[in-house]
Amino acid sequence: MNPIPPDTTRVSRLVVRTPNWLGDMVLALPALAALRRRFADAHLTIAVPAAFAPVFREDTDVRPDDILPLPSAKKGIRSALAAGQFELGILLPNSFRSAWLLRQAGVPQRWGYATSLRGWMLTKTPVRSPVHGVQHQADYYRSLIRGFGIPCGDEAPRLRVTPATAERALDVLQTSQRALDMLQKEKVDPVRRLAVLAPGAAYGQAKQWPPD
């Protein structure tokens, strides 16, 4: 594992590239919160696919100073990252493309796992700890952050919507005939507080919480 550069504590501007999928993004919240604590005095920008940028406007422990909605075009992403004049970029995705664009944007310090033949583009690449059995995706991101020598606890992801978001959701629920029909069928009052669970996962056990 590469040593942590001695000037890391003086980083004033850093960007963290989130995973591409909404579920992975939520599971990465504890890792992102650990980075927020580690670089408490730095300007933290979260680079996120534009469709999911609103997640980081809700109540989380990440508290970014800026949110960078990423366009779909490679050139647009590179330009957006370059404009931020970041000193450090941390990659949660494992893709070659995410590292390539960070390098092309001129970010001098680039941290992430050396996967997908991209290790030569990164300046810090922690060694992945051996895992016995299935590793939950949230733990995968925690291991990455710990590999940088940054403490990261085992707390569950925390995401609470703001009152304004809750109000908008209620408006949608009360104006959607399909939703109203479903609630009426189940004899559920749409004005009551509702909890919606989706315990399944499309890609196996790595994104499923155990029954206990």
List pLDDT tens digits, range 54-112: 999 999 999 999 999 998 888 889 999 999 999 999 999 999 999 999 999 999 999 99
Rounded to an integer, the average pLDDT of 131-139 is: 82
List pLDDT tens digits, range 22-65: 989 999 999 999 999 999 999 999 999 999 999 999 999 999 99
Residue 138 tokens, joined:
């949230």
pTM of structure: 0.82
Q: Which string of b and e fits 41-58 if b means at least 16 CB within 10 Å?
A: ebbbbbbbbeebbebbee
Rounded Cα distance between 57 and 30, Å, is 16
Measured over all CA atoms, what is the biggest interatomic distance in the chain, rounded to whole angstroms? 62
Task: Give the pLDDT band (50/70/90) at residue 115.
Answer: very high
Closest CA to 45 of 93, 8, 81: 81
Rounded to an integer, the average pLDDT of 135-147 is: 93
Query: Are 48 and 20 contacting, i.e. CB atoms less than 8 angstroms apart?
Result: no
Q: Count of CB atoms within 10 A of residue 75's CB?
A: 10
Q: What pLDDT does 209 receive?
A: 65
Q: Is the pLDDT of residue 136 over 60?
A: yes
Mean pLDDT of all residues in the chain?
Answer: 88
Angle at CA 185, nearest 5°, toward 189 and 202? 95
For the chain, which residues make up each domain, given as ranges?
A: 9-147, 163-207
Residue 187 tokens, joined:
């004899």
CATH number of 9-147: 3.40.50.2000
